[in-house]
Structure 1
C-alpha cells in the first residue's frame, strides 16, 4: 500500500452519478467513472464484531482515525493509496480535503483527532464525518461547504455524535441527503459496543423525510437530488453480517 501523495493525475470524465455501497459501521465504497474510494475499513471488534470485513478492491482508501473500527487498512486487496492525515490532495482527478476534528468531547485529549473528508465524485459533493464528536466550528463549516451527501455518526458513546449532536450537525451542513453511521446493529458485540441503536436518532428526526433502502447500495444522480430539505436514507445491514 502507498501513502497518498499530492501528484495531479489526469482529470476523470464526467459521470452520470455516484454509486454508494455501505459495508457496515462507517465503511463505504464510493464508485464513479471506474474510480473506487473505500472509506473507514474496520476490524471485527466491538460494534463491528459480526460484520464481514470490508476487503474490497479500491483505488484509494480514506481513513478518519487509526482506531480499529474505522482505520484498519491492512490486508486490503491490490495496492490502494491511503489518506489518513488532514490536508489537501488531488488523486484520480478528484480534490480531497481532510479536516481535523476532535474524536471526543474533550478536544481530542482522550481519543485524539478525527479526519472529516470532503470531495466531489460523480457530480455529488460528499462529506464523510468519520467519528466526529465535537460541534462543527465556523471554520470547519466554511471548509466543508454544502454537501449533497453527508455521512454522519449518530450512535453516541464517548467517540461519536449522539442523536441530538448528529441532528445539530445536519442543521449546520444542510445536506441534500444524510446517511446515519456508527450506531449499534445486530453485528455488534453488545458486551463491548458503547453505541446506541439507530432508534433514538429516528425518534428525534421523525418529522423529516426518512427512506429505508432494502439493500446496502444506492446510486445518487445529481439530477435526482432533493430540492428542499434533507432526505435521510437508511441502508439495510442484513446482507453484511458474517
Structure 2
C-alpha cells in the first residue's frame, strides 16, 4: 500500500511539473542566473541544492534501515528528484508543501533548464532485484551537477555520453546490494573524470544500525589515496572558483 501511495503521488507531481507546466513564480526563479550553489547534506543520498533562485531536493527518505538514525528531510523545495521508489530514496509523502517532482528517466525542459534523468540498474543483477535507478544531471549555480543516486552497475558508453564530465559528482561508495562499493565508485570516477566528488550512501554514526550493511567512507578515501580531500560540515557553497584547475578533489560532508 505504501508503494502504491508513493507511485500515485509521483504521478500527480510529474503531471503538475511537466504536463501542466510550472507556476509562473517557479518559472521566473529557474530563469535567474546564479553564480553559486549551496549543497546541504541530510544523510544517505539526500541533498538540497540551492542556487539560481531555485531549491532542488534529491532523494528524500524515510527513517528506516540504513537511514534509521537520520532525521526525515522535511525541508521546503521547489523541485524534487528521486532516483528510485524505494523508501530510502523516494519518500516524497513526507515533504511539506507541494513541490514539483520528477522520478522517471528522460530529458525534461523545465522552463529553460534541462534536467536529464539517466536510467541505470539499482543492483548488480540487471535491475531484477531493486529495479531502476535514475541518475540526475542538471546545471545550477554555474555548475554541471551529476547525482548518481543508488547506482550499482558499471557506466555504459551510452550513459557516459549523457552524463558528460560533471563539475560536481555525487556518488555512492558504501557498498551493499544496491549501490557502488569503494572499488566500483573509483571505476566510475575514472570514467567520468569529475572535478569535485562528494561521496554518498556510506556508514555513519547515524546509520550504524544492525540492519545496515554499508561500509564507512574511509574505505573509499583509502582507495582514493593521492586525491586531495577536503572536509566540511553539513552545508557547503560551491562556485566555478571552487573547481580545481586540474584533476579532482573529494569533498566529504558530515551529517549534522
Please indicate the TM-score interval, normalised by the length of the shorter structure: over 0.9
1:163 equivalent in structure 2 = 182
Instruction: Say if 1:92 and 1:77 are closer, same or farther in 2 by CA, change over 3 A.
Output: farther
Deviation string, structure 1 residues 89-129 (Cα, Å, up to 9, x no partner):
12253210001000001110111010000000111000000
Q: Provide the rounded CA distance (Å) in 2 between the counterparts of 1:54 and 1:200.
A: 26
TM-score (norm 1): 0.94
Q: Of residues 217, 227, 241 in structure 2, which corresponds to 1:223? A: 241
Is 1:95 paired with 2:95?
no
Cα shift at 1:189: 4.6
Cα shift at 1:202: 1.2
Q: In terms of mean alpha carbon deviation, does 198-207 or 151-160 score higher?
A: 198-207
Is 1:51 paired with 2:70?
yes
What is the SS of the residue equivalent to 2:190? helix
Kept in 1: contact 2:34–2:53 (CA 8 A): no
Is 1:104 paired with 2:117?
no
Cα shift at 1:236: 1.4
Q: Provide the rounded CA distance (Å) in 2 between the counterparts of 1:22 and 1:188.
A: 14
Query: Which structure is higher in helix share?
Result: 2
1:69 equivalent in structure 2 = 88
Q: Provide the rounded CA distance (Å) in 2 between the counterparts of 1:135 and 1:186.
A: 29
User: Where in structure 2 are the equivalents of 1:67-216 lying within 5 Å?
Assistant: 67-213=86-232, 215-216=233-234
TM-score (norm 2): 0.89
What is the SS of the residue equivalent to 2:124? coil
Q: Provide the rounded CA distance (Å) in 2 between the counterparts of 1:93 and 1:77.
A: 26
Q: In terms of mean alpha carbon deviation, does 217-226 or 141-150 score higher?
A: 217-226
Unaligned runs of 5+ in 2: 1-8
Paired residues, number: 237
